[in-house]
A and B are shown apart, each in its own frame.
Chain A
């Protein structure tokens, strides 16, 4: 597993369905964070140099490296903070209003 994953969680029906005490499978996600954004980061891969500063500085780990030495966003978990765009020395990322991005 590369990162915690969204699991298919069934709400307990019986007390047996709960874990014994507050102890649960690590990396068990049931919800995404996409709804937090008003702006979304968009990368211009022609400008991106693959320096990975944005990747390094994303609090949410929502940027990954691609095979062609560029980056891509995980929009399910990007909260739209704008740090990546602010810190990219090459201005390869722009923050676009959600509605316009669609």
Chain B
């Protein structure tokens, strides 16, 4: 085993590759992109589908990426990455990273087919899904990764329904089921864990996938300064989890530490303010079911 130096806040490059963008203040997605680029470096070719990160980074003539980057079609990130990889390899540029940054909608819904194809081909690409749990760029509509009870503009909370009526699609396991070389979940609330996973992804020979929980102050109705702490709390109270899949094996990186925080955590967010106790019970029991299953299978 080569001893690879851990990238930390102290030793990471001073270079900023995603800078001057127009993301909202405290945007978790842009933090996820910024940190990833610091790990991957300048020999990185990025593709971003329609969504917040492409919308805020490529407004002619304001170009926020310092490295090569392109906007892909909304459904076509996985395949565009494959084409870039194939083109770079054919031209002899093997020592490069090809990286996608896509939202939850661009990944779990409309982009799932292209992503599945890329993983299936074992293409050497890195795919990062910044999960802000809704279609934010178009004005906070429900996606396949919007959790139960979330109020969005297409899953309104009213007399009859308390927001979204289904739980989050289990995307991490869907990705892992391809027997992908490396997959991980992360959170902007646990940045060091994310940096470690990015470093791992950068070394993987085949396809790698990181699913990072990325707060969206605008769409979630939270105050901007809590962007990072809420993302941490989501992991602590079990609504999100830190895990890895490698060598065909799942691993939980962090146990459920503060299950009791759940209700308080939810009610801090505008998108969950309407939830009644019975709704919270539904969320709680789904969380417990999920954790019991994960601990049993991967713990």
Contacts and interface: CB of A to CB of B under 8 A. Distances in A.
| Direct touching of A and B (C-beta under 8 Å) | yes
Interface stretch (B19-27, B86-94, B179-187): B19-27
A30 interface: yes
B224 interface: yes
A14 interface: no
Interface of A, helix, strand, loop or mixed by DSSP: loop
Contact of A29 (B30, B62, B225): B62
Interface residue SS majority, chain B: loop
Interface residues of A, number: 40
A65 B14 contact: yes
A87 B26 contact: no
Contacts of B15: 2-3
B267 interface: no
Nearest to A38: B25
B16 interface: yes
Contacts of B64: 4, 27, 29
B191 A33 contact: no
Given A59-B30, A82-B26, A24 B61 contact: yes
A79 to B, nearest CB: 4
A61 B34 CA distance: 8
B63 A57 contact: no
B229 A86 contact: yes
27 contacts: A3-B20, A4-B16, A4-B19, A4-B20, A9-B61, A24-B63, A26-B65, A26-B67, A26-B69, A28-B62, A29-B19, A29-B63, A37-B25, A56-B12, A56-B191, A57-B191, A59-B25, A59-B27, A61-B16, A61-B18, A79-B25, A81-B25, A81-B224, A81-B225, A83-B228, A86-B225, A86-B228
Interface of A: 1-4, 9, 22, 24-33, 36-37, 51-53, 55-61, 64-65, 77, 79-83, 85-87, 95
Given A27-B63, A27-B66, 7 more contacts: A3-B17, A4-B65, A24-B63, A26-B63, A33-B20, A81-B224, A87-B228
Interface of B: 9-10, 12, 14-28, 30-31, 34-35, 60-69, 188, 191, 217, 223-229
